[in-house]
């Protein structure tokens, strides 16, 4: 029961990143670049403090990890200027899975038919979601870039012996390039409201920093299979949060896309034999 509650808490935290970003950027409380920069800074501060308190040193950060993290953070915030919370989370989740699938192919891993069909279903779901997007194409493109970034970040960190230390290192190392990118993009924090700044800090320090720390703490007990299934709930929680807090509609198109994307990922991840 304790593991179940902790897992549920982490999934809510991950979904909350979508809702908080949408509440801040989508309503004009803060610019997307400013939000991403503050989120990164607050998350880095929390993660670095946690690693320092453990006293186990730093290891596992990488150039690929930093670049993937930057692409994820900025793409994520830019997308929520247009996309609803649940829609953005579903696009992110689907593209992350497709990126991981492509990474497996590139690495020469044997890919069974089950994973091919699952990936095809997930891709069809993304097509259903994006097809009638109208003027929201830039939002879909930005979130797709964020999904590629997070997928690359995950691939880069697969060999890390200490995931929390690697994440803290990547967050800290990404700060310099993030500030440079923000300056080049013309960031202007003077246009941000106190609410927008608070939501960005909350997303960075709590739902990202502490959320990631808790996730890495429970992963060994959870196992890869249950972890993958648990993450299927994030887009649905984000959609529920968007509906409850911002009155965003949950459409039939979103429901169909969710069925295809989440069903495809479930099918691709399902073990050949279920252990007894």
pLDDT confidence bin for 133, thresholds 50/70/90: low
Please count the structural domains in the chain.
1
Q: Which of 73, 72, 207, 87 is nearest to 147 (CA)?
A: 72
19 within some domain: yes
More confident residue, 114 or 70: 70
Q: By residue range, what is the domain housing residue 31?
A: 2-269
pLDDT at 41: 97
Tell me the pLDDT tens digit for each residue of 11-41. 999 999 999 999 999 999 999 999 999 999 9
pLDDT at 181: 92
53 within some domain: yes
pLDDT at 111: 72
20 within some domain: yes
Tell me the pLDDT tens digit for each residue of 34-54. 999 999 999 999 999 999 998
pLDDT at 275: 45
Q: Is 275 left (phi over 0), alpha (psi -120 to 50) or beta?
A: beta
pLDDT confidence bin for 115, thresholds 50/70/90: confident
274 within some domain: no
| Mean pLDDT, the chain, whole residue set | 87
Taking the CB of residue 185, how many other CB atoms lie within 10 A of it?
16
179 within some domain: yes
276 within some domain: no
pLDDT at 174: 96
pLDDT at 163: 84
275 within some domain: no
The yes-or-no verdict on residue 68 having pLDDT over 90 is yes
45 within some domain: yes
Share of the chain above pLDDT 90, in %: 47
pLDDT at 44: 96
pLDDT at 108: 80
pLDDT at 56: 74
The yes-or-no verdict on residue 234 having pLDDT over 80 is yes
Model confidence, pTM: 0.87
The contacts of residue 6 (CB under 8 Å, 6+ apart) are 214, 218
pLDDT at 161: 81
Q: Which of 36, 61, 59, 249 is nearest to 142 (CA)?
A: 36
């Amino acid at each position: 029961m304790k593991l179940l509650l902790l897992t549920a808490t982490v999934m809510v935290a991950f979904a909350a990143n979508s809702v908080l970003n949408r509440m801040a950027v989508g309503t004009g409380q803060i610019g997307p670049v400013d939000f991403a920069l503050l989120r990164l800074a607050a998350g880095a501060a929390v993660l670095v403090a946690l690693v320092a308190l453990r006293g186990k040193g730093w290891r596992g950060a990488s150039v690929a990890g930093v670049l993937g993290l930057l692409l994820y953070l900025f793409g994520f915030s830019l997308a929520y200027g247009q996309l609803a919370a649940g829609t953005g989370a579903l696009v992110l989740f689907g593209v992350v899975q497709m990126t991981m699938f492509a990474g497996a192919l590139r690495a020469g891993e044997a890919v069974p038919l089950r994973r091919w069909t699952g990936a095809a279903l997930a891709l069809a779901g993304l097509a259903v979601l994006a097809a009638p997007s109208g003027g929201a194409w830039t939002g879909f493109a930005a979130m797709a870039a964020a999904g590629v970034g997070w997928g690359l970040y995950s691939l880069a960190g697969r060999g890390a012996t200490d995931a929390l230390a690697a994440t803290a290192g990547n967050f800290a190392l990404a700060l310099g390039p993030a500030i440079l990118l923000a300056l080049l993009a013309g960031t202007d924090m003077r246009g941000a409201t106190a609410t927008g700044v608070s939501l960005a800090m909350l997303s960075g320090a709590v739902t990202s920093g502490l959320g990631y720390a808790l996730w890495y703490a429970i992963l060994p007990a959870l196992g890869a299979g249950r972890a993958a299934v648990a993450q299927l709930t994030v887009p649905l929680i984000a959609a529920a949060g968007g509906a409850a807090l911002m009155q965003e509609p949950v459409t039939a198109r979103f429901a169909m896309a969710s069925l295809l994307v989440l069903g495809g990922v479930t099918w691709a991840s399902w073990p050949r034999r279920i252990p007894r």
